[in-house]
Amino acid sequence: MRIRAAIAVPAASAAAAGLLLTAPQSQAATAHHAGSVRCAGTSLTVRAKAVPGDPTVLRAGVTNRGARACVVDRVPTVTFGDLDGAALPTPEGGAGTYRLAAGRTAYADVRTIGDPADPEARRVDTVTVAASAAQWGRSFSAAQLGTGKRVLVWEPVTTWWQPTRAAADRAIGLSR
């Protein structure tokens, strides 16, 4: 898997406010949530499955089973077997949080490879998805994901958490 370097630098409050003003409505709503409590890993259920008809795209979901709203990272942490690195966020700029109301689910799509015939593709047995980088997350076998015996990986990308499956599909470029 080829990894591209990404460095997150904290922005000043004024710069962050400016970004919020220029961000699309769906992204502005997922910005930093001051005073919100981080979701405990034990209060979250993480799921992942290949998008029907496209084994190169996985759909992840995280559900807050807690009694109160909490926040997870804006972008899920998605790693692949024993390969170094994680899927990069699309669009770029994954710093920040996403507010997850009690009982609600957020969705993210992960494109594992652009071209399944790519000779540089790596093959892994598992994919691990975490709602936040500080959490262990949950590992899924290729069979559980519905991708066959292995998951093909090369330059993977993941969307930010989205409120619906359809929004996650649009964010990754699927037209349904």
Predicted TM-score (pTM) of the model is: 0.80
Half-sphere exposure (Cβ direction) of 86: Cα atoms closer than 13 Å: 19
Residue 22's pLDDT band, with cuts at 50, 70 and 90, is very low
Q: Which of 33-42, 125-134, 154-163 has the lowest mean pLDDT?
A: 33-42
- Report the SS3 class of residue 172: helix
Q: To which residue do tokens 């959490």 refer?
A: 135
Q: How confident is the model at residue 2 (pLDDT cuts 50, 70, 90)?
A: very low
More confident residue, 118 or 32: 118
Largest Cα span, the chain: 49
Q: Which two tokens stand for residue 40?
A: 């405990």
**Band of the pLDDT at 53, cuts 50, 70, 90?**
confident
124 strand-pairing partners:
151
Query: What pLDDT sits at residue 35?
Result: 56
Mean pLDDT of the chain: 84
Q: What is the arithmetic mean of pLDDT over 126-144?
A: 96
Instruction: pLDDT band for 34, please (50, 70, 90 cuts).
Output: low
